[in-house]
């Protein structure tokens, strides 16, 4: 992945900060949350199959 380090100046600093925050709130955070929920759901399903498949 290519890293970009923009030069901050009085004209671009605010716009770049707003863009990063917006991207995190709308795109990155929800994506991370979905990944975690999917992982937890898969683990819970696997564990429940083990629990309910055991004979008393």
pLDDT for the residue numbered 4: 67
Alpha helix positions (H), 1-56: 13-23, 29-53
- From first to last of its 56 residues, the chain has per-residue pLDDT tens of 666 666 667 888 888 889 999 999 999 999 999 999 999 999 999 999 999 888 76
pLDDT value of position 12? 83
Report d(CA 50, CA 14) in Å as an integer: 53
């Amino acid at each position: 992945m290519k890293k970009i380090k923009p030069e901050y100046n009085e004209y671009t600093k605010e716009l770049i900060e707003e863009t990063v925050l917006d991207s995190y709130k709308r795109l990155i955070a929800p994506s991370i949350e979905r990944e975690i929920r999917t992982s937890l759901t898969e683990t819970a399903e696997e564990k429940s199959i083990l629990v309910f498949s055991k004979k008393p």
